Chain A
Amino acid sequence: MANLRDLYQELIVDHSKQPRNFRVVTDADRHAEGHNPLCGDRVTIYIKMEGERISDVAFRGSGCAISTASASLLTESLKGRTATEAENIFDNFHNLVTGAGETGPLGKLAAFSGVCDYPTRVKCATLAWHTFHAALRGAQADHVSTEKA
């Protein structure tokens, strides 16, 4: 059995208790809402762009430690990146938490390496990312659900 501490690494516990960039961005260019109807997790991601670059990214919402920490670390990892870089990081992160293959360098996001041993928690880790993805691509408000309609 995977060790519980591999899932709840210190960095994850820390970010779940004190999420960074946990705020509404009133002048956001884009935002999207994500929802996991099975467990009630909700997240809204706000993005501000300067040309191709993400000048600000923040979130609000409520959820479990994994989903909160994932949103928090997402904002830290993606601020200042270009949209293309962000999509690459998302791909790597997705591979990491699903155990799907090569991940490339992930920095702090490597803290989520334990998630792949807990298949029921993958959706918690990816909710904010799918929501970010929708915000980035969508023109304005968009809605993401972990469960297909």
Chain B
Amino acid sequence: MNATQAVRVAEARADFPILHQQVHGKPLVYLDNAATTQKPKPVIDAIVSYYTADNSNIHRGVHTLSERATVRYEAARERVRRFLHAASEQEIIFTRGATESINLVAAAYGRENVGAGDEVLITALEHHSNIVPWQMLCNEKGAKLRVAPINDAGEVVIGEFERLLGRRTKVVAISHVSNALGTVNPVGPMIRAAHRVGAVALVDGAQAVAHIPVDAPALDADFYAFSGHKVYGPTGIGVLYGKKRLLEAMPPYQGGGDMIRTVTFEKTTYNDLPYKFEAGTPNISGVIGLAAAIEYLENIGIENAAAHEHDLLCYATEQLRRIPGVRILGTAAEKAGVLSFLLEGVHPHDAGTILDSEGVAVRAGHHCAQPVMDRYGVSATTRASFALYNTREEVDALARAVRKAQEVFG
């Protein structure tokens, strides 16, 4: 990160109106970014301008507003295409979020391609949204869900992952970055291993896209899923990237308007990609807001944001390690800005309340990753997670609040 870029990151904080407030009389220190990130002014403005000037339904009206809304919607798709380096806009499908993207693949690809005795391989790091859809599919089909284990540092044991791959493996579904521990998985080599046995690979990039530049074709991912709200965009909008060849062969996920070409009561012919998978009126303002978020992040530079967050992670790790009674969970060599920890004698739920009373917003709980918690024999952790607008001063506030929690139970 060069000096001007560093300045750009430092100035970014001013772009997020919500950050400039007090909570319980203390400056808000927002460290719950893995749950959802805050939204910069350009994203809020894009949504306001859409509803103020251009709101209309898309792909159906001949009138001016509909034309404008359609142009903005499709321009957003083009921005997402470039963001993931996809070859074609037909490979970018808008969904409600990472969860719906994964469910779409489990339903439309999985139902056609996974049968009795087949296997789906996931890892022990997955978020519930990359476990349950596969479990449902496996139950329906009489297929088997296999789980690659993690080591004490929270890294997938690659040898075991490869050993679990076989002739019966039809789908491999892995997170790019773990939301509970911050581990960055070596998805490139994992995808190659999946392909060697003829399986398709889905990557859950919900925690990755705001922190790692993603080139889906270079990774050779068959499917790549993410949510807008974790990359400075609005809630209720997400993306599924899929290889055109696979998407074309898949049946639709939902039926309705926009996904059809012709309908009679006897027979319906489906629309082309990506519309085949976008039934009904989509979240138009969400799509426009997401495009503004990606533009914003790209202007700052994902690498710059990542370098800044890495600095915060190292600094926070160092600060918390100095406090007796703190145990950090997730010590992978490759980590994104997530710091999960336990405080001796203080339950995470109590830590969460006490930190909040100091203005520090963190997540306390199982992070929708109960199997990860089970792996460490705990029911919950306290998790601080960083975004490009966080500062070292905020890490200091976190460390002070942690000491305060210890005092309360001292």
Give A contacts to B, CB under 8 Å. 1, 4-5, 7-8, 13, 16-17, 38-42, 62-66, 68, 118, 120-121, 124
Contact = CB atoms under 8 A, between A and B. Distances in A.
Contacts of B364: 39
Contacts, number: 53
Given A1-B24, A39-B364, A121-B353, A63 B408 contact: no
Contacts of A42: 379
B357 A4 contact: yes
Interface string B331-349: 0000000000000011111
A128 to B, nearest CB: 15
A125 to B, nearest CB: 12
A64 B349 contact: yes
Given A7-B353, A62-B379, A121-B353, A40 B409 contact: no
30 contacts: A1-B24, A1-B25, A4-B357, A8-B350, A8-B408, A16-B409, A38-B365, A39-B349, A39-B364, A39-B366, A39-B380, A40-B365, A40-B370, A40-B373, A40-B380, A41-B349, A41-B379, A42-B379, A63-B347, A63-B349, A64-B347, A64-B348, A64-B349, A65-B346, A65-B350, A65-B409, A66-B349, A68-B347, A118-B353, A120-B353
Given A39-B365, A65-B350, 11 more contacts: A1-B24, A1-B25, A4-B353, A4-B408, A5-B408, A39-B364, A40-B370, A41-B379, A63-B347, A66-B349, A118-B353
A1 B23 CA distance: 9
Interface in B338-393: 345-350, 353-354, 357, 364-366, 370, 373, 379-380
A22 to B, nearest CB: 15
B379 A17 contact: no
The listed residue with most A CB atoms (<10 A of its CB), out of B348, B350, B366, B379, is B350
A1 B350 contact: no
B129 to A, nearest CB: 16
Nearest to A8: B408
A13 B408 contact: yes
A39 B366 CA distance: 7
A4 B349 contact: no
Nearest to A66: B350
Nearest to A118: B353
Contacts of A64: 347-350
